[in-house]
Structure 1
Amino acid sequence: MTAEPPARGRLTVYLGAAPGVGKTYAMLDEAHRRRARGTDVVVGYVETHGRPRTVAQLEGLEVLPRRTVSYRGATLTEMDTEAVIARRPAVVLVDELAHTNVPGSRHEKRAADVEEIRAAGIDVVTTVNIQHLESLNDEVERITGVRQRETVPDEVVRSAEQIQLVDMAPDALRRRMAHGNIYRPENVDASLTSYFRVGNLTALRELALLWLADRVDAALGDYRREHRISASWPAKERIVVAVTGGPESETLLRRGARLAQRAAGAELLALHVIATDGLRGAPAGSVERSEQLVASLGGTFHTVAADDVPGAVVDFAAGVNATMVVVGVSRHGRLRRLVAGTTGDRIASLAGAIDVHLVTHDNVPRLTRARSAPSPLSTARQVLGWVLALLLPLGLGAVLHEVTVTDDLPLASLLLLATTVLVALVGGLLPSLLAALLGFVALNLWFTHPVGNLAVADPRNALALAVFLAVAAAVASVVDRASRRAAESLRARTEAATTAALSRSVLTGQDTAEAVVLRVREVFGQNGVALLARDGAAWRTVAATGAAAAEPGGGTTRAQVDDDHVLVLCGEPLRVQDRRVLEAFAVQAGLVLEYRRLRAREERAAALESAESTTTAILRAVSHDLRTPLATMRASVDGLVAEATGAAGSLTAEDRAALVESVDDATEQLERLIDNLLDLSRLQTGVLHPTLRDLSLLEVLPLAVAGHAPGLVSLEVEESTPLVRTDAGLLERVVANLVGNAVRVSRGTPVRVLAHAGPERVDVLVVDRGPGVPPAQRLRMFEPFQRLSDTGGGGLGLGLAVARGLTEAVGGTLEAEDTPGGGLTLVLSLPRAGGGSVG
């Protein structure tokens, strides 16, 4: 027979409000009390820190030997978990639950050792300070400025069967510190002026009390659930505010917050009940605003779904052990309140011991006449319903009276009842009630004795007529209600589909403000829709479609997006039912604007990151590439100066010419490098503004190739080449850059510069016979600081990057192709004159 595993050991935690409050001393005192009662108690691990009174508490207790561990040349001791389990005491004392074991130990944390000991059926009494709880680590660091490296998960401590708080007033703890009862004398002054300040100790004490209060509150809730106690136990003030999302919600929440502030430690909970039929609901955005207000008031927001709103409110309040429910006065009219009662009245009747605070507000109805709910039927259907109500009952009654041999009251009643249902389906409630009344008259006139007048001789016929009228009115009411619910259901389904489409568009992040206003116009059939933004005292249009107003008050309908944006609709005024969908569009518009702001911020961040990386690359590159021409210039100038001052022998004319040429070449190289750096900087910062005009390539290309020796560049451009629209100065820089690179790699082979005209563009081709560039590297060749196979030095690898940037600035493109027979062809494509300007 397999032995049953031992019952899990109980955990008792002595929780210290701060270091030095005496939690270890209290744990040892508990051990002495248990030992005196005959319990087998051993000390698994206790850290006395050399405190005499704590050391004295160990006397008379069995202390298990510690395990010795070597780590990095040092000998350390840890609790011997295996020895504790082998000893199998009833209770073991384990100090410092959050301790981290020496690397190489059986468990990483001492809390895991405690769990293993408990699994063996041994009770554990342990200690931990409040600053070592994982959830409070950040708070403790903000208070004390000290980050605790050793922490223990809150769940470990919460799982304890008993938690004993060890507390001490801040002044008493500081006196204990000053007397040397906690730390060594040399550490006292530093501790009193840093960690053990009165403010720090007070804050730690409050954290400990609040954390333990939450744990006690959770334990109370568990007890009530286990014992099925539904009545409220007002151990702590909890105020539940029932919000509908209506205009009175803000008043209720602020009243609830004021009530919660009167009791220290009170909680504010807002509850919104969603009707399960999905037809009754708050306008979109209003519940969200209530949730934001609750968060600003320091409360929590909860949502439940139920068909019985008062019952759901009371059940929630009882479940959270609330002491008060705040509810608003009904917004319904007096007749409905008199007949059906109010939500507040029903909550008060169900609340039992929970107080109900009824709050009046500006939305309570006065003696004004309430507006009837708009009919879901069109005007044409309502008119047709009235016509059918007037004609069908009397006409059908007359026809039946003529064709029936005997006065058949049951058949006529059924047919006229069917007529009432038909009228209800077509025209709604009021026409169907008229049809029922006229059907009653027809039955009385032609199908009850005496026939031909409204008198009824047989009491049974009178009863039948009364039943007919009641049934017809009831059926008409039911049919009308069903048709209204069907219309509301269809509208709710349409709203849900629209909202789902909005959600998908928002989640994909592909929607724009223009798409939002266009969709609003399509959904609601408006003449125009505009999204306006506040610009000082005026308004500017962010996006618009159709004949939209330029001011918020100019349209027929408006929806607030946020404090600075509004949707304005021009056209037929929207029905009340459509306002919720419009508010959903307003929320989407707000998200689109937020996405736009985030994208702009991301683009700015990317630009700054790119500029920073470029700056870093430039700083890395200039250390060599800019120093080379400067060194050449310095050496040449030093040679010339030395000859002029007589510090060196005389130079020949050839030597002087060579030095001067070196200075000239180095100066030209340095100028080229600096120009490229400036151009790249202007491109990346967006300060380059080209001046576009129509011009001939023959005005630009000869100047671009003029700096090269005869025979190195062949310019082949016909006079009939169409004009191009570009910036002359920038185009000259681009072509000169491309030709210079081509000449350098061609090594004496002539470079050809050609022009080909297309229907919309003119291509300038720079053809070389150099080594070419592999296709895989052609994308990188236009990036800054890319030299590829050009290792000859003399540049930062900016030429092609600057050339492409300048080309795009004037509305052109720059691509690389293979030269037939070997080499590389750079194709500079420019727009023809008259093809439109580039902005």
Structure 2
Amino acid sequence: MIKRDEVVNERRGRLTVYLGAAPGVGKTYAMLGEARRRIDRGTDVVVGVVETHGRQFTSEQLEGLEVVPRREVAYRGTTFTEMDTEAIVARHPAVVLVDELAHTNVPGSRHEKRAADVEELRAAGIDVITTVNIQHLESLNDEVERITGVKQRETVPDEVVRAADQIQLVDMAPDALRRRMAHGNIYKPEHIDASLTSYFRVGNLTALRELALLWLADRVDDQLDDYRRAHRIQETWPAKERIVVAVTGGPESETLLRRGARLAQRAAGAELLAVHVLASDGLASPDERRVDQAQKLVAALGGTFHTVTGEDVSEAVVDFARGVNATMMIVGVSRHGRLRRLFMGTTGDQIASLAGAIDVHLVTHDQATGRLLSRPALSPLSRRRQLVGWVLAFVLPFALGGLLHAFEDTDTLSLASLALLASSVFVALIGGLFPALTAAVVGFLTLNYWFTQPYSSFRIGEPRILLVLVVYVAVAAAVASLVDRASRRATEAVTARTEATTIAGLARSVLTGQDTADAIVERVRETFGQEAVSLLTRSAAGWEVTAASGEHCASHPDEGDTRVRVDDDHVLALCGAPLRATDQRVLDAFALQTSLVLEYRRLRERELHAATLEKADATSTALLRAVSHDLRTPLAVMRTAVDGLLVDGVSADDRAELVRTVDASADQLERLIDDLLDLSRLQTGLIRPHLAPRSLDEVLPLAVAGHDRDRVVLDVPESTPFVLTDPGLLGRVVANLVDNAVKHSRGVPVRVLAHALPDTVDVIVVDQGPGVPEVQRERMFEPFQRLGDTTTGGLGLGLAVARGITEALGGTISAEDTPGGGLTMVLSLPRAAEAVEA
């Protein structure tokens, strides 16, 4: 037996949204009115949350309705109330009212946004009626801010509202809404004047109203499309004027698009859509440059550009128009000759026959008056192959005919026809279409002269022979045309594959972020076989070369043989052979990649700058904290000691003790200031060491001279190689490390050792103190890190300064465990090999 709750949970609750065009139009009032109507019909309705904002009429509508008590949430010492979703689910009414869908819940609530609470209620099978204003939709947030000057902090994704089962627009004329405001029905009296002169101006309200209507119109349009698909309705319903322009990629595309834009402007709210059909074999036969220009023109005219694939252009255009529920299609007059139009018809005629209820607007243009220059007339073959083809077209048929005629067999017409047909196919493979057609004509004359009666004459004795010769020429021409077309398709396929491979490589390099400007210009030069390529950047002084490949190409865009714009301040200049029109798409892809690389570089520089500023800000904050605390300590001690010295009657012993205190505090203060100055110099790059070959026997004894021999043990073999260092800076680093080690060594002597390696010399400072956990060792080299050190007299800068100086010397510093307990600091310095050899 299935429980009632399980049956209920299988059903998802419906969502009804009351969409307000502006605050105060009465969406909450309308929602409460709907709740009362449903209660009168016997529906179980409860109020989850309703905000009355002190409005009298809204409060009256709320009276008598069952309200689920809100849940209290404590946040930062204050108690807030939010909708109790769990209690509503437990109550499980048929319908729940949830006001202000875009509301953000108090931290600590069940969900971050109230929209998520609504989703939970719907998942429990409860119908939800909610409200939201148009200014709270995420996609319109920036538009509303530009209109009203007020940024909405709480937003809801458009998808949440679009997914509603029902949307009710609550609207009111701007003047009527302002009267409601003036009567005190929306805000308190003290806020009325300010609201009427700012947010609730007539212009603002009119713009918000238009936004709401347009947004809802799109939602209604989506619903209409869903309904047509669900009911398999193929014919269009002219609910909105949509004009589809068929773009062929020819020179007439601009004329058609501008005509479509003018027609769209005559109907308010009309849409302009351009569609370009690609052959289903994926080969790019149209002029890509013209297609790109058409795409840019559509964007400038406020339309959208679409590319579809289909075997039949007419069917593809009509299918697209039906899919978008178009009301008109604009097609250009055919540019083909009369003979082709007579036998094959035109695309416009075919579209008109398939359009059905969609109007077809046939537009004439300048290109329709002249004969179409077919693109296949421009052979993709090299001049050498075309020349060989033309020679074979005249020589090969006569050679084969003469060879067969030498057999002196009068019944060789069939064999000669096949041989000469094969010669036409061979010529088509070598030289293309027109040499092959010429070979067919020459073969016709050869057959007529040598193999038909009367022999050795161009006269035709029988009609049957004439028919045979005409059929031969027709078959030869057809076969040659097919062979030539297949050859062209193969060439286009190779080109398309090369372009696809190049563009795929570009996409892969963009995603991995490996390319640099130098790498891009090098790839451009290699891909297009150019002599040189330069990336030029516009500056205040003119154009500068940012990256270059090959010999000097150009220092100004006008000096390049081919130029492509990257952005407003960058241009790629190519020097070399002119590029084909088909290369433009790949070159544009390189330009796009260049812009991405430059943008990535700018973002990286900003990130580094921001990281530097963040680090400097953290250092400044820590410095202020240190100055306010650690530096005040020795100053306070000195001030106390000086005050003691100024008192009359102080004994000689006390005076001496006070002087020693002043001296010790002054030394402490001096060390602290030295550390701060060193840190500042390191961060600004002012420390520039003077590197020279030095012996550690000269440096280390001075660095540990301030400690007794029973506290520090120095063990440096005489065979230790020289190191390349600055002795003064190295002494400061070692002294700093030894001071830290002595401070934590617990009375056990600190050992200072030296160990030679093939490329470096390690200075090792070993203590038997408490050590430092491995997870904190890297952190202890950061400024102002004490790591639990509660002793006074330090800012936590010693190790940070030591690492900075070590890196300036070209060395490294690291921390390791001391066997038996403690910490070992390893200072690696580069060997001065030349000095050792000397």
Structure-1-length-normalised TM-score:
0.76
- Hey, what's the Cα distance between the residues in 2 that align with 1:15 and 1:750? 77
Q: Give the match for residue 662 of structure 2.
A: 663
Give runs of aligned pairs for residues 90-169 of structure 1, distance below 5 A. 128=131, 130-131=133-134, 138=141, 142=145, 143=148, 167-169=171-173
- Hey, what's the Cα distance between the residues in 2 that align with 1:775 and 1:97? 52
Check whether the contact 1:390–1:438 (CA below 8 A) recurs between aligned residues: yes
Give 3-state SS (helix, strand or coil) of 2:794's partner: coil
Check whether the contact 2:277–2:313 (CA below 8 A) recurs between aligned residues: yes
Q: Give the match for residue 397 of structure 1.
A: 401
Q: Give the match for residue 616 of structure 2.
A: 611
1:625–1:580 Cα change, 3 Å: same
- Hey, what's the Cα distance between the residues in 1 that align with 2:372 and 2:279? 28
Give 3-state SS (helix, strand or coil) of 2:563's partner: strand
Shift of residue 493, structure 1, vs aligned partner: 0.8
Check whether the contact 1:705–1:713 (CA below 8 A) recurs between aligned residues: no
1:462 aligns with 2:463: no
Give 3-state SS (helix, strand or coil) of 1:665's partner: helix
Q: Give the match for residue 811 of structure 2.
A: 812
Q: Give the match for residue 649 of structure 1.
A: 650
Shift of residue 418, structure 1, vs aligned partner: 1.6
Give runs of aligned pairs for residues 250-649 of structure 1, distance below 5 A. 260=264, 263-280=267-284, 299-309=303-313, 311-323=315-327, 353-354=358-359, 356=361, 358=363, 374-403=378-407, 405-551=409-555, 552-642=557-647, 646=648, 649=650
Give 3-state SS (helix, strand or coil) of 1:545's partner: strand
Q: Give the match for residue 761 of structure 2.
A: 763
Give 3-state SS (helix, strand or coil) of 1:316's partner: helix
Which runs of no fewer than 5 residues in structure 1 stay unpaired?
Answer: none
Check whether the contact 2:102–2:136 (CA below 8 A) recurs between aligned residues: no
Q: Which amino acid aligns with 1:690?
A: R
- Hey, what's the Cα distance between the residues in 1 that align with 2:735 and 2:742? 10
- Hey, what's the Cα distance between the residues in 1 that align with 2:416 and 2:410? 11
- Hey, what's the Cα distance between the residues in 2 that align with 1:485 and 1:212? 48
Shift of residue 600, structure 1, vs aligned partner: 1.5
- Hey, what's the Cα distance between the residues in 2 that align with 1:508 and 1:375? 40
CA RMSD in angstroms, aligned pairs only: 5.7
1:442–1:158 Cα change, 3 Å: same
1:803 aligns with 2:802: yes
- Hey, what's the Cα distance between the residues in 2 that align with 1:30 and 1:745? 77
Shift of residue 506, structure 1, vs aligned partner: 0.8
- Hey, what's the Cα distance between the residues in 1 that align with 2:117 and 2:823? 68
Structure-2-length-normalised TM-score:
0.76
Deviations along 1:51-95, one digit per CA (max 9) or x if unpaired, are: 99999999xxxx987366485699999999999999x9xxx9979
1:671–1:550 Cα change, 3 Å: farther
Give runs of aligned pairs for residues 700-711 of structure 1, distance below 5 A. 701=699, 705=703, 708=706, 711=709
Give runs of aligned pairs for residues 210-221 of structure 1, distance below 5 A. 210-221=214-225
Shift of residue 487, structure 1, vs aligned partner: 0.8
Which runs of no fewer than 5 residues in structure 2 stay unpaired?
Answer: 73-78
1:775–1:393 Cα change, 3 Å: farther
Check whether the contact 1:432–1:476 (CA below 8 A) recurs between aligned residues: yes
Check whether the contact 1:44–1:84 (CA below 8 A) recurs between aligned residues: no
Q: Give the match for residue 66 of structure 2.
A: 66
Give 3-state SS (helix, strand or coil) of 1:568's partner: strand
Which moved further from structure 2: 418-427 or 39-48? 39-48
- Hey, what's the Cα distance between the residues in 2 that align with 1:245 and 1:256? 16
Check whether the contact 1:767–1:819 (CA below 8 A) recurs between aligned residues: no
Deviations along 1:476-502, one digit per CA (max 9) or x if unpaired, are: 121111111101101101111111111
1:815–1:51 Cα change, 3 Å: closer
Deviations along 1:574-623, one digit per CA (max 9) or x if unpaired, are: 33333322222222222111211122222222222222333344444455
Give 3-state SS (helix, strand or coil) of 1:279's partner: coil
Give 3-state SS (helix, strand or coil) of 1:541's partner: strand
Check whether the contact 1:784–1:797 (CA below 8 A) recurs between aligned residues: yes
Which moved further from structure 2: 580-589 or 781-790? 781-790
Q: Which amino acid aligns with 2:509?
A: S
Give 3-state SS (helix, strand or coil) of 1:600's partner: helix
Check whether the contact 1:819–1:825 (CA below 8 A) recurs between aligned residues: no
Which moved further from structure 2: 826-835 or 7-16? 7-16
1:796–1:245 Cα change, 3 Å: farther
- Hey, what's the Cα distance between the residues in 1 that align with 2:770 and 2:387? 84
Shift of residue 680, structure 1, vs aligned partner: 2.5
- Hey, what's the Cα distance between the residues in 1 that align with 2:817 and 2:231? 86
- Hey, what's the Cα distance between the residues in 2 that align with 1:453 and 1:419? 22
Q: Which amino acid aligns with 1:460?
A: R
Deviations along 1:165-201, one digit per CA (max 9) or x if unpaired, are: 5544333344455556778889877876777654554
Check whether the contact 1:246–1:282 (CA below 8 A) recurs between aligned residues: yes
1:152–1:375 Cα change, 3 Å: closer
Q: Which amino acid aligns with 1:545?
A: S
Give 3-state SS (helix, strand or coil) of 1:633's partner: helix
Give 3-state SS (helix, strand or coil) of 2:381's partner: coil
1:138–1:718 Cα change, 3 Å: same
1:770–1:85 Cα change, 3 Å: closer
Check whether the contact 1:782–1:804 (CA below 8 A) recurs between aligned residues: yes
Give 3-state SS (helix, strand or coil) of 2:577's partner: coil
Which moved further from structure 2: 378-387 or 131-140? 131-140
Shift of residue 561, structure 1, vs aligned partner: 1.9
Which moved further from structure 2: 816-825 or 24-33? 24-33
Q: Give the match for residue 783 of structure 2.
A: 784
Deviations along 1:10-65, one digit per CA (max 9) or x if unpaired, are: 99987665566567888999999999xxx95779569997999999999xxxx987
1:140–1:705 Cα change, 3 Å: closer
Check whether the contact 1:421–1:476 (CA below 8 A) recurs between aligned residues: yes
Check whether the contact 1:244–1:272 (CA below 8 A) recurs between aligned residues: yes
Which moved further from structure 2: 573-582 or 140-149? 140-149
- Hey, what's the Cα distance between the residues in 1 that align with 2:591 and 2:81? 68
- Count of equivalent residues: 806
Which moved further from structure 2: 333-342 or 513-522? 333-342
Q: Which amino acid aligns with 1:305?
A: T
Shift of residue 342, structure 1, vs aligned partner: 7.8
Q: Give the match for residue 686 of structure 2.
A: 688
Q: Give the match for residue 206 of structure 1.
A: 210
Give 3-state SS (helix, strand or coil) of 2:469's partner: helix
1:149–1:418 Cα change, 3 Å: closer
Which moved further from structure 2: 209-218 or 707-716? 707-716
1:794 aligns with 2:793: yes
- Hey, what's the Cα distance between the residues in 2 that align with 1:147 and 1:186? 22
1:477–1:177 Cα change, 3 Å: closer
Give 3-state SS (helix, strand or coil) of 1:824's partner: strand
Q: Give the match for residue 673 of structure 2.
A: 674
Q: Which amino acid aligns with 1:505?
A: S
1:202–1:269 Cα change, 3 Å: same
- Hey, what's the Cα distance between the residues in 1 that align with 2:571 and 2:273? 32
Deviations along 1:511-559, one digit per CA (max 9) or x if unpaired, are: 2222222222333333333322223353323222322413234444333
Give 3-state SS (helix, strand or coil) of 1:585's partner: helix
